[in-house]
Amino acid sequence: MIRLLLLLLIISPGCIAAPTNHLIILTTFTESAITPITLEFQKQYPDAKIKVLHRRGESGVRLLEKNGHDIDIVISSSQFTLQPLIEQNKLIELTADITHSQLIQPFRQSQSANIVIFGYSGYGLMWNKDYLAKHNLDIPVNWENLTHPQYFRHVIMSSPYRSGTTHLMVENILQRYGWKDGWKLLLQIGGNLASISARSFGVSDAISRGLAGIGPVIDSFAYESQRQFPFIGFNYQNHSPQIPSYIAAVNNTHQSKHSLALIKYLLSDEVQAKLPTSSLHKYGLKQKTVPSYTRQPLNMPLMRHRKALVKQLFEQTISHQLVLLNQAWQLIHKLNTVQNLTDEHRRQFNLAIRLASTPPVTETQANSDMYHELSLSRTDVQTARCINAWRRIMGSQLEQSIALSQKIIAEREGSK
């Protein structure tokens, strides 16, 4: 009898977790960008108790992979943040009034019909006008400009390992220029970097504060800075992708009753019309005025295939080599102004450039399954072996490049 009573108690409706008023949002956007939107949403749903959690891409993925999390909504510009939810079938099915909306039909995701795009962004170069004037620097137009000697230690960017939008930028370079020339460009820019920001919005913050002069950012960060500071400049990068902003509702134990309402709110005519001037600074889905630049769509299957490789390789060849990169390219820039190098010095100089601009992974290796099992975890044994080898090889190449350049300079000065 006691067992029967316990069984009835367990299966009774009162013991099933009822939908709650709490709404927990995980986002890779800044909390300051999301909060004004949620405050407006609460005016329509005053019983909603909203908490916003900001996480970087991989940190957000790790949180979503934990059992028993209470995340109700994910908002991000990165498909990879949502990927575990797709694979584990943890997304809430959208209601007919959302899925049948003519607004979202062109933006539906082939991977999952339960993810909605509510806006989009572009990216480009942001600069501090006062900083450029102080250091007598030209306004940069494109990626290639950032390799010029005048920008030595005046540039800042984030790492694709820490920033989903920076990953899109780096992959865009690799797909546009090709693996070999793309990494050559990235390593040359790396030679001019003053620092690597731990967060993507740290780039716009450092430029606004005059700690650096120029950096690649998503447009929403630039617009937010321009709203506060009149000395901020920005231009879009040609042949770059349009970056969607995604939202999805997540199945969990303590389900929020406001999840789908928030999705509908972001797709509403009222919010869409105000999106460009809102705290999110996104282009709405019906926006007629859009940034004028030639868009280059990304090959997403290729990007997924080498995601861990590109992120880890950037860390080992640029983030962890910044001092050597600066030294190597400063010497190369200096030698570039030297006239009448001997044939032997020219050969050594070209070798110095090649050593400083060649990653320790070839295009053939990158396109094969050689690094398919590579992890983003630093504790994975196989991954640790790879990244330690890359760091060692790149460090050795840069040291050789520096030694060659110093030898040429010493011999030139000794012959005078």
1-44 confidence digits (pLDDT tens): 444 444 443 444 433 457 788 999 999 888 889 999 999 999 99
114, part of any domain: yes
Could you tell me the pLDDT band of residue 101, with boundaries at 50, 70 and 90?
Answer: low
* DSSP per-residue letters across 3-25: HHHHHHHHHSGGGSPPPBSEEEE
Instruction: State the CATH number of the domain containing residue 90.
Output: 3.40.190.10
128, part of any domain: yes
Which one is predicted more confidently, 300 or 59?
A: 300
Q: Based on the number of CB atoms within 10 Å of its own CB, is 84 exposed (0-12), middle (13-18) or buried (19 or more)?
A: middle
263, part of any domain: yes
- The tally of domains found in the chain comes to 3
- Same domain? For 236 and 251 the reply is no
Residue 6: what pLDDT?
A: 41
> How large a percentage of the chain has pLDDT more than 70?
91
5, part of any domain: no
Residue 341 has pLDDT above 60, yes or no: yes
DSSP state of 275: G
- Same domain? For 325 and 394 the reply is yes
Smallest CA-to-CA distance from 360 within 326, 317, 296 is with 317
- Same domain? For 314 and 407 the reply is yes
Report d(CA 243, CA 241) in Å as an integer. 6
SS3 (DSSP) at 120? strand
Rounded to two decimals, the pTM is 0.88
- Residues 343, 211 contacting (CB under 8 angstroms): no
pLDDT digits (tens, 9 = 90+) for 287-299: 776 677 888 889 9
- Same domain? For 117 and 247 the reply is yes
Six token digits for residue 300 = 């997403």
Q: CB under 8 Å to 318, separation ≥6 — which residues?
A: 159, 186, 187, 190, 193, 196, 325
- Same domain? For 248 and 117 the reply is yes
- Same domain? For 128 and 232 the reply is yes
Report d(CA 120, CA 287) in Å as an integer. 10
Of 188, 212, 240, the one marking the end of a domain is: 240
Residue 138 has pLDDT above 90, yes or no: yes
- Residues 54, 27 contacting (CB under 8 angstroms): yes
pLDDT digits (tens, 9 = 90+) for 233-279: 999 999 999 898 999 999 888 889 999 999 999 999 999 999 999 99
248, part of any domain: yes
- Same domain? For 173 and 229 the reply is yes
* DSSP per-residue letters across 335-393: HTT--S--HHHHHHHHHHHHHHS--SS-HHHHHSSTTTT--S-SS-HHHHHHHHHHHHH
255, part of any domain: yes
- Same domain? For 253 and 230 the reply is no
- Same domain? For 93 and 155 the reply is no
- Residues 91, 85 contacting (CB under 8 angstroms): yes
Could you tell me the pLDDT band of residue 107, with boundaries at 50, 70 and 90?
Answer: low
CA atoms within 13 A on the CB side of 27: 22
Residue 110: what pLDDT?
A: 47
Phi, psi of 46 (to 5 degrees): -65, -20
377, part of any domain: yes
Average pLDDT over residues 149-166: 95
Residue 183 has pLDDT above 60, yes or no: yes
Phi, psi of 245 (to 5 degrees): -110, 120
Of 189, 213, 240, the one marking the end of a domain is: 240
Query: What is the extent of the structural domain holding 127?
Result: 123-240
Could you tell me the pLDDT band of residue 104, with boundaries at 50, 70 and 90?
Answer: low
pLDDT digits (tens, 9 = 90+) for 378-403: 788 889 999 999 999 999 999 999 99
SS3 (DSSP) at 195? strand
- Same domain? For 236 and 247 the reply is no
- Same domain? For 25 and 82 the reply is yes
Angle between the N-to-C axes of helices 179-191 and 307-317, in degrees from 0 to 180, rounded to the nearest 10 = 30
Phi, psi of 199 (to 5 degrees): -135, 150
Phi, psi of 257 (to 5 degrees): -85, 0
pLDDT digits (tens, 9 = 90+) for 199-209: 888 999 999 99
Could you tell me the pLDDT band of residue 111, with boundaries at 50, 70 and 90?
Answer: low
Beta-bridged to residue 179, according to DSSP, are none
CA angle 402, 405, 410 (to 5 degrees): 120
Phi, psi of 141 (to 5 degrees): -110, -40
292, part of any domain: no
pLDDT digits (tens, 9 = 90+) for 233-246: 999 999 999 898 99
Residue 62: what pLDDT?
A: 77
Of 240, 262, 285, the one marking the end of a domain is: 240
- Same domain? For 146 and 65 the reply is no
